[in-house]
A and B are shown apart, each in its own frame.
Chain A
Amino acid sequence: MKKITLSILALYIGVLAVFSQTKPSSDSAYRQRKLTFSEANIVSSYYSQDGNNSAITGGIGTEKLTDFSNSFSIKLTRVDKKWRKHSFDAELGIDNYTSASSDRIDLKANSSASYNDTRIYPSLNWTMEDDKKGLTWGAGASASREFDYYSFGSQVNVAKKTKNRMGEYGVKLFTYLDNLKLIYPIELRTGAFIPRGEDYPMAARNTFGSTFSYNQIINAQLQISILTDVILQQGYLGLPFHRVYFTDNSVHVEKLPDSRLKTPISIRASYFAGDHLILRGYYRYYQDDWGMTAHTISLEPVIKPTAFFSVSPFYRFYSQQATKYFAPFQQHTAANTYYTSNFDLSTFTSHFYGAGIRMARPNGILGWQHLGALELRYGHYSRSNNMQSDIVTLNLTIK
């Protein structure tokens, strides 16, 4: 926790350092070409969940978890000789979580090292907008590290506006190369799976994906976006400390295929109704080759009494059909090739609702001229299998 506090303190000092510099004027073409500060964002959130279907204890047992997440991002821009706008985004995120179910990797432990962990995830992104040609190019890299999991991501993207500039096609290719430590439940550590101190055997999990999108302006109040992904995951796709209890009460490690193809498609719309109301809608259909299908619908009306203040209640409905490899506690048999008792892959519906407020003023908020926007959002999530969670998030935008 001390590390987290120091890291957050370092982030805030970083913000102060940025603002202690003189802001360059943009009154000449020459100076516009210099790299200039655009904005910084601080996002902090606290998440808390509870339930009684933990995969670590075979589909029964506590799912109590908390996650304190903080991220700081900074955006710099410059215009090159061809008047193309380059944006550079750098982000650093730090999560600190506690998990009662992870603690049950050792069923006899009252509290073990796996009770809490810290995840650190930096990322860098570059975007180049060529307004003359209606083209946008981008590339990015990211990393994520926690005790038992390492992930390295990269992506490239390109988007092209249509001739009348009312539409835009986009393609993105991305990959995540992950490695996880094979930390098995204590009672199942035999042979090659006995760790030497902290030296656990490793396994790979790779994700290769592509996104195809099309945005269209319908009229001066309405725009829509259609988006589809093709995502292929390969490697160790289960988790080594997820237990599965068979009908004969024997205990096993979750076993899932080493390949998964996901093909979701979505449509999103934003409609400015009148002068003080924006309606945002989203629908997604999802299917994969593990037999799972899902529907997601969300609606968020944004009420804007003034141009600088908005209130946005939101509601999201989600429905999922279980993967063919799922069965609850003591339902699998030795005849099953693949098996999991992870309720995140079961059949359920969920509701997520809450509200957010946003203040944004060009000359600052709460007496601080650099604070461009302040946003606070709370949401409650409930799943039909009795898992509940709450999340509160604060976003400060500094300009």
Chain B
Amino acid sequence: MQNSFLHTYFFTSLTSPARLLITAGLIFICLSSCTTVKEYQKNKLNDSEMILSNRKIEKTELSFMSYREGASGANAGKSGGGCGCN
């Protein structure tokens, strides 16, 4: 699994500046294509499944992942506290 395609070509073979550049480029493309959306056009954006944060049903999943994995944070949820010692 350590040598999966995703791991090898997207993460290992790209340097940090390259990854940063690609990410910044994608963000720029997205932001530069922004259009003003009027309130009455936001019915799809206001759909409950479109939220840009974690849903309540994911709470326990995120909790166990923060214990079983070394990385945490940047997911708009809790980022500290608790033992997770098992």
Binding site for B on A (CB under 8 A): 41, 43, 45, 47, 49, 63, 65, 67, 69, 71, 73, 97, 99, 101-102, 119, 121, 142, 144, 146, 148-149, 151-153, 164, 166, 174-176, 178, 180, 207, 209, 211, 213, 215-229, 231, 233, 239, 241-242, 262, 264-268, 270, 272, 278, 280, 282, 284-286, 288, 292, 294-297, 302, 304, 310, 312, 317-320, 322-323, 344-345, 347-350, 352, 356, 358, 360, 375, 377, 379, 381, 383-384, 387, 389, 391, 393, 395
Contact = CB atoms under 8 A, between A and B. Distances in A.
Category for how many chain B residues contact A? 35 or more
Interface of B: 1-2, 4, 6-7, 10-11, 19, 23, 27, 30-31, 33-37, 41-42, 44-45, 47-53, 55-61, 63-65, 67-76, 78-83, 85-86
A304 B52 contact: no
A295 B11 contact: yes
Majority secondary structure of chain A interface residues (helix, strand, loop or mixed): strand
Instruction: Give me the 6 closest cross-chain CB pairs, A-B, nearest first.
Output: A207-B80, A264-B74, A176-B81, A294-B71, A286-B71, A384-B1
Given A67-B64, A178-B81, A166 B34 contact: yes
A267 B27 contact: yes
A43 B57 CA distance: 7
A153 B4 CA distance: 39
Contacts of A153: 78, 80-81
A294 B4 contact: no
Nearest to B38: A220
B44 A47 contact: no
Nearest to A302: B49
Given A102-B86, A142-B81, A294-B69, A213 B76 contact: yes
A344 B79 CA distance: 16
A102 B86 CA distance: 6
Contact of B81 (A144, A320, A358, A384): A144
A344 B83 contact: no
Given A239-B85, A319-B7, A349-B7, A43 B60 contact: yes
B73 A264 contact: yes
A45 B73 contact: no
B34 A349 contact: no
A278 B71 contact: no
B41 A102 contact: no
23 contacts: A148-B85, A151-B81, A153-B80, A166-B37, A209-B73, A219-B37, A220-B45, A229-B79, A262-B71, A272-B50, A284-B75, A285-B19, A286-B72, A286-B74, A297-B6, A302-B49, A304-B49, A319-B11, A349-B2, A349-B4, A352-B61, A381-B64, A384-B2
Nearest to B86: A99
